Amino acid sequence: MSAIQVLLVDDQQIVRQGLATILKYAPGIEVVGEAGDGEEAIRLAQELNPDVVLMDLKMPRLGGIPATRKIRAAQPETHVIILTTYDADDLVFEGIKAGAQGYLLKDASSETLVEAIRGVMRGESLIDPGVARAVLDEFQRLSAKPVAAPSGTQPEVATAEGQAIIEPLTPREEEVLVLLVEGLSNREIGARLHLT
């Protein structure tokens, strides 16, 4: 199996160098490029076609959320993990809506970072426990707001933006979400809930 190719995106060079050093010692992971802003990230993602992009949020020229949206639209097979110091609810939600498969705070351990990279390659997602509670609260808020649906159609749930999602979470989906918020991996959740 070939190494997981990672593109590092952060406006602070010292952060990129630190991440590169951490990942240099992670077996099966290779840093293939570095970008200092979102525009450079988009260009390098197209040029290098990395498996995973570690994306900062607040950067000059173009921030991480629009860059994530553009990379995921052009290259849906490229996974994006947001790695930031910002834990504001609106940024978490915007990052996830932009297509990020992970959201980590920069105080995460190097082991957590490496596992998040490997996890997204297995189809898993990781949300930092420091922001996961807000995600769970938002899903619970959304599932508590049914909207009347025309007869013969599925009920919908209103979102803060006035758009709708198809239906509220089932009790089983809520169980899975609670375990995800607790930081369990997909494999651990499956074992805990006896899922295959």
| Percentage of residues in the chain having pLDDT higher than 90 | 56
pLDDT averaged over every residue in the chain: 85
Q: Is the pLDDT of residue 96 over 60?
A: yes
Domains and CATH numbers, the chain: 4-127 (3.40.50.2300), 132-192 (no CATH)
- Please answer whether residues 40 and 15 qualify as being in contact, where contact means their C-beta atoms are separated by less than 8 angstroms: no
Q: How far apart are CA 66 and CA 124, in angstroms?
A: 22
User: Taking each helix axis from N to C terminus, what angle separates 38-48 and 64-74, rounded to the nearest 10 degrees?
Assistant: 20
In angstroms, how far is CA 49 from the centroid of its own chain?
18
Compute the half-sphere exposure of residue 26: CA atoms within 13 Å on the CB side of its CA: 21
Q: How far apart are CA 56 and CA 53, in angstroms?
A: 10
pLDDT in tens, 143-184: 776 555 555 555 554 454 555 545 666 777 777 777 776 676
Name the pLDDT band for 6 (thresholds 50, 70, 90).
Answer: very high
- Comparing 80 with 87, which gets the higher pLDDT? 80
Q: Is the pLDDT of residue 196 over 80?
A: no
Say if pTM beats, i.e. exceeds, 0.95: no
Provide the 3-class DSSP secondary structure of residue 32: strand
pLDDT in tens, 38-84: 999 999 999 999 999 999 999 999 999 999 999 999 999 999 999 99
Helices (H), the chain: 13-24, 38-48, 64-74, 89-97, 110-121, 129-143, 171-181, 186-192
